[in-house]
Amino acid sequence: MIGTKREQTVAMLCAVVLAWPSVSASASPQDRTVSVLYAGSLAAVMENGIGPAFVKATGYGYQGEAQGSLGAAQMIRGRLRTPDIFISSDPAVNESLLMGPQNGSMVKWFMVLASSQLVLGYNPRSEFAERFRAAATNRIPWYEVLETPGVRFGRGDPSIDPKGYRTLFMFALAGQHYHRPGLPGLLGDPRNPAQVFPEIVLMVQVESGQFDAGVFYQHEVVAYKMPYISLPPEISLGDPRFAARYARQTYTTSSGRQVSGSPILFTITIPETVRHREAALAFVRFLLSSDNLLKQFGFGNVDHQVGGDVMQVPAGLREFISGTFKP
């Protein structure tokens, strides 16, 4: 039986992944519920924050589902999901999997929504919690804690989740930054089954104590009120000043697609699968005008640049455009 409020929240968020119907039923024009398929790291933010705030502010309904961004895009392309809104944790997911005739032109434009950065979240009840707290206050290096015998450490799946391959980039950058070339060896194989889990499952693993720590986005640990260790901007993938350094890191996914390191950006779009356009427009407008709300959840505010065909951006959203996105 699930007892604590936090356990109930985790269980609810896991259910979000399972609740979405695999084949969408036709909806009446009067249906005012927006369906949002979003990056798995946004689960707590969307279900406990943005979703309820949107419903309260606009009167529209809200239905969300969390998936790894790569997997979600593949579902949209294969029409296994037909959302009104898609929120990705990497602009490249739109560009490589959903845009252009080779992808059925499922997405024609996107807007940059917010930025984030990688951090090391840890369980405050871990037997190694004191060492993690020492690392959080810069008394010992964070990587020395991970090297401690017995520490259990988790990370995302690079085959379905941009955070998964960004973690690989972060450790490679850390090896260079600290002049410790062996640091990436802490990960083992890129898809090491002892460490790699889907995003929401990983959070549950750390929350429940099955893992001592994991690599997360800052907004995830803020939403879950999990203690964390901030990482230097040279390796956190959160600072545009180091974009050229990040870009030297590459990873080839299981589908053969090569991705490169870049500052972490989240994007929003209305894909061609939209069924409730009025509700979708209201949701995008709500988010693009909610910089303060996003900041409360640990996101960074950014210019809302447009990727793809700017002429395809709905007229009601063009007032938010602040330039053209360039990878």
Same domain, 34 and 151: no
pLDDT at 119: 98
CATH number at residue 150: 3.40.190.10
- Tell me how many domains the chain contains: 2
Q: Are the C-beta atoms of 293 and 50 separated by less than 8 Å?
A: yes
- CA 300 to chain centroid, in Å, comes to 13
Task: Confirm whether pTM is higher than 0.75.
Answer: yes
Structural domain includes residue 326 = no
Q: Are the C-beta atoms of 317 and 288 separated by less than 8 Å?
A: yes
Poorest-pLDDT segment among 26-40, 57-71, 85-99:
26-40
pLDDT (tens digit, 9 = 90+) per residue, 136-188? 999 999 999 999 999 999 999 998 889 999 999 999 999 999 999 999 999 99
Poorest-pLDDT segment among 26-30, 45-49, 322-326:
26-30
Of the candidates 260, 279, 299, which is a domain's last residue? Answer: 260
pLDDT at 26: 43
Of the candidates 210, 239, 260, which is a domain's last residue? Answer: 260
Same domain, 135 and 156: yes
Same domain, 30 and 82: yes
Of the candidates 235, 260, 285, which is a domain's last residue? Answer: 260
Same domain, 138 and 56: no
Token output for 145: 């804690």
Confidence class of residue 48 from pLDDT cuts 50, 70 and 90? very high
Structural domain includes residue 327 = no
Q: What is the chain's mean pLDDT, rounded?
A: 91
Confidence class of residue 52 from pLDDT cuts 50, 70 and 90? very high
Same domain, 220 and 136: yes
Same domain, 242 and 299: no
Same domain, 145 and 250: yes
Say how far apart CA 33 and CA 26 lie, in whole Å.
13
Same domain, 78 and 29: yes
Structural domain includes residue 141 = yes
What residues make up the domain containing 225?
118-260
Which of 257, 256, 252, 281 has the alpha carbon at shortest distance from 269?
281
Same domain, 66 and 130: no
Phi and psi at residue 269, in whole multiples of 5°? -150, 165
Say how far apart CA 59 and CA 239 lie, in whole Å.
37
Confidence class of residue 53 from pLDDT cuts 50, 70 and 90? very high
Structural domain includes residue 325 = no
Same domain, 132 and 210: yes
Token output for 241: 């000043």
Confidence class of residue 254 from pLDDT cuts 50, 70 and 90? confident
Same domain, 163 and 247: yes
Same domain, 146 and 233: yes
